[in-house]
Amino acid sequence: TRRVRTRDLLAAKERGERWPMLTAYDQYTAAIFDQAGIPVLLVGDSAANNVFGHETTLPVTVDEMLSLVRAVVRATRTTLVVADLPFGSYEEGPTQALRTAVRFMKEGGCHAVKLEGGRRCAPQIEAITGAGIPVMAHVGFTPQREHTIGGYRVQGRGEAAEEVLADARAVAEAGAFAVVLEMVPGEVAKRVTGALTIPTVGIGAGPETDAQVLVWQDMAGLRGGKAPRFVKRYADLAGVLTDATRRFADEVRGGEFPAAEHTF
């Protein structure tokens, strides 16, 4: 078995085959997702929220991201590992964007990078892909701009559908190998998916995209509290881990752990 390549994802679209993508930020989970047959893992800047405990994705740094990227790459054999360029590491223009992307490839060892933005980021995508680095784009709702957008809001409703379509076309034209569509109406995602030859990866974008991505802690129910509407929980890891933790604590307090078989 070999690593998945971006051209495998293009071929899957041509065959009409859908594929799953998850975020990953550490060794054990990345290995599980790799072995469970997830072809693409994203070391998302959602690590800001889901690993480092920030309120938004903005604070995570390139160096923090690189540590996580290295762990995920080392733990996987067949998945294509995509890394998010964090806020502030590519907005200044193509030169800064390419410099950051090169660091991710050389120091992180990932196989592609991702950045947020449509028409606005076409020059960055051209510069990075021009250097031989595959780029996944991200349009619709883009969390790094949440202060401008005014929170987590569906994008592309009504006439704004044309904006999403124009952004998706621009990133494809600039050389992106795939594009994430976040929180756009299902009808808009369907239109974009039909208009592009590169795969679309939906999150909160309905069932008609070529691929689907979720944050793994949402997918597996590790994160407590109310999940966004687009999340489906496939497990209750928070419940499993809470139960295990309570039993461990009780057994230590009660003197039942460690037992003879755990003792040298």
- Strands (DSSP E) along the chain, which ranges? 19-23, 40-43, 80-84, 112-114, 135-140, 178-182, 200-203, 211-214
Nearest to 46 by CA among 157, 132, 128, 141: 141
Closer to ligand KIV at the Cβ: 112 or 180?
Answer: 180
Least Cα distance to 22 among 45, 50, 41 occurs for 41
142 is a contact residue toward ligand KIV (CB under 6 A): no
> Tokens 């889901």 label which residue?
50
Residue 235's closest CA among 214, 259, 263, 260? 214
Residue 101 DSSP symbol:
H
Q: Which range in 40-48, 85-93, 102-110, 246-254 contacts Na ion by CB under 5 A?
A: 40-48
Distance CA 152, CA 141 (A): 7
Using the rule CB under 6 A, give the single segment among 28-36, 37-45, 104-112, 191-199 that binds ligand KIV: 37-45
Q: Out of ligand KIV, Na ion, none, which partner does residue 97 contact, by CB within 5 to 8 A per kind?
A: none
Smallest distance from the beta carbon of 151 to ligand KIV, in angstroms? 16
> Is residue 226 annotated as involved in ligand binding?
no
Considering only the stretches 39-47, 62-70, 229-237, 253-261, report the one whose residues sit in contact with ligand KIV under the rule CB under 6 A: 39-47
Q: 186-195 and 161-174 helices cross at what angle (nearest 10)?
A: 30
Strands 200-203 and 178-182 come out as: parallel
**Which candidate in 182, 208, 251, 256 is catalytic?**
182
261 catalytically annotated: no
Which of 41, 47, 37 lies closest to 23 in space, CA to CA?
41
Q: Please report whether residue 45 would count as binding Na ion according to CB under 5 A.
A: yes
Check the annotation: does 243 bind a ligand.
Answer: no
One residue of 44, 108, 118, 134 binding ligand KIV per CB under 6 A: 44
Question: Which C-beta is closer to Na ion: that of 180 or that of 191?
Answer: 180
Residues at the contact surface with ligand KIV, assessed by CB under 6 A: 23, 42, 44-46, 84, 138, 180, 203, 213, 215
Q: Which residue numbers belong to the known binding site for 3-methyl-2-oxobutanoate?
A: 45-46, 84, 114
Q: Which residue numbers belong to the known binding site for Mg(2+)?
A: 45, 84, 116
* Residues taking part in catalysis: 182
